[in-house]
């Protein structure tokens, strides 16, 4: 039997923030790609949750409730910042047609999930994967994050985004193909013969000018995930490895100073 919340048993909001801060902050970081923005988004999530706390009736619903507020806050922020509009009717029809033909399944675990590497190298790899995910078109990014980072199933993601199941499948399919098209050709953790070596980046990671020169020398340009032709380079043989690496990115957590700041803001309201 679920434990309901009533006036005689108010929710302990300080404990709620403490208990769920990593759960919200880590995906917030994956969505924004920047620690400061993730801290702002996570704080905004908890403050909005606190304002609407009387609407919560079941303790078991805390995490889904926080998740929904976080996602909506992120979408609202990004659409306002970039003036991004909702997907057009034509695009939505294409997605639904594409998604209705898809049979999406969660990739099975691979040996890469148990691969142990130097902590510093893991940090660089983590940063690379996060950076590329944030370059996806907004709707693809949020769908991918919900399913392959948050761990929702496709039906839950569709309900949260208020999208049809076929449209959500289409968005997830495109996001996966885009990321696979990049990492399948560039990341050594996906294919050992790929040219990129995380270790080599350590040699000049702290030298800003050297990084810029290296980028110029290699003539590196960010992938254009909006270009439909880019996803066509996706190799199905590498998709499982790419997704397993995304799903095993280390969790992130805000520091104690952030936690105290949130509590301070709560007490001042």
165 and 132 share one domain: yes
Q: What is the mean pLDDT of residues 93-120?
A: 68
CATH number of the domain to which 47 belongs: 1.10.1740
The answer to whether the CB of 247 falls within 8 A of the CB of 28 is no
Percent of all residues in the chain with a pLDDT value above 70, rounded to a whole number: 74
Establish if 259 belongs to a structural domain: yes
Over residues 114-126, the pLDDT tens digits come to 454 556 566 777 7
Q: Give the pLDDT score at 224.
A: 84
Look up the domain containing 227 and give its range: 117-247
Establish if 7 belongs to a structural domain: no
138 and 221 share one domain: yes
User: What is the pLDDT of the chain when averaged over all its residues?
Assistant: 77
Q: Which two tokens stand for residue 263?
A: 């509590």
Q: Give the pLDDT score at 7.
A: 38
Beta bridge partners of 4: 58
Residue keyed to tokens 């066509």: 232
Quickly list DSSP for 57-107.
-BGGGHHHHHHHHHHHHHHHHHHHHH-PPPPPHHHHHHHHHHHHT----PP
Q: 23-37, 73-87, 133-147, 180-194: lowest mean pLDDT where?
A: 73-87
Q: Give the pLDDT score at 1.
A: 38
Establish if 111 belongs to a structural domain: no
Establish if 44 belongs to a structural domain: yes
Beta bridge partners of 58: 4
Q: What is the mean pLDDT of residues 150-168?
A: 90
126 and 242 share one domain: yes
Q: Give the pLDDT score at 8.
A: 40
Establish if 189 belongs to a structural domain: yes
130 and 170 share one domain: yes
Q: Who wins on pLDDT, 13 or 148?
A: 148
Establish if 105 belongs to a structural domain: no
Establish if 27 belongs to a structural domain: yes
Over residues 10-45, the pLDDT tens digits come to 567 777 788 888 888 888 888 888 888 999 999 899
Task: Show the DSSP H helices in the chain as ranges.
Answer: 13-32, 35-51, 62-82, 89-100, 119-133, 138-144, 154-161, 165-186, 198-202, 208-218, 228-231, 236-247, 256-267
Number of domains in the chain: 2
Establish if 263 belongs to a structural domain: yes
Q: Give the pLDDT score at 215.
A: 54
Sign of CA dihedral 109, 115, 119, 121: negative
């Amino acid at each position: 039997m679920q434990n309901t919340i009533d006036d005689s048993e108010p929710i302990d909001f300080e404990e709620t923030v403490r208990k769920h801060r990593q759960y919200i902050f880590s995906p917030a970081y994956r969505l924004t790609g920047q620690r400061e923005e993730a801290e702002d988004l996570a704080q905004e999530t908890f403050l909005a949750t606190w304002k609407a706390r009387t609407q919560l009736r079941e303790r078991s619903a805390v995490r889904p409730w926080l998740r929904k507020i976080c996602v909506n806050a992120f979408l609202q922020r990004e659409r306002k910042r970039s003036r991004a509009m909702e997907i057009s009717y034509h695009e939505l029809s294409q997605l639904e047609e594409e998604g209705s033909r898809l049979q999406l399944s969660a990739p099975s675990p691979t040996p890469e999930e148990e691969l142990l590497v130097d902590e510093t190298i893991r940090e660089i790899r983590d940063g690379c994967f996060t950076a590329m995910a944030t370059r996806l078109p907004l709707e693809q990014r949020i769908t991918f994050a919900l399913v392959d980072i948050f761990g929702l199933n496709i039906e839950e993601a569709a309900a949260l985004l208020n999208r049809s199941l076929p449209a959500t499948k289409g968005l997830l399919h495109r996001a996966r193909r885009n990321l696979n098209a990049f990492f399948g050709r560039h990341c050594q953790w996906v294919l050992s013969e790929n040219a990129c070596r995380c270790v080599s980046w350590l040699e000049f990671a702290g030298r800003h000018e050297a990084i810029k020169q290296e980028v110029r020398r290699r003539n590196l340009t960010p992938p254009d995930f909006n270009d439909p032709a880019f996803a066509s380079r996706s190799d199905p043989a590498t998709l499982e490895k790419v997704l397993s690496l995304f799903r095993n990115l280390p969790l992130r957590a805000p520091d104690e100073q952030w936690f105290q700041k949130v509590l301070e803001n709560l007490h001042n309201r």
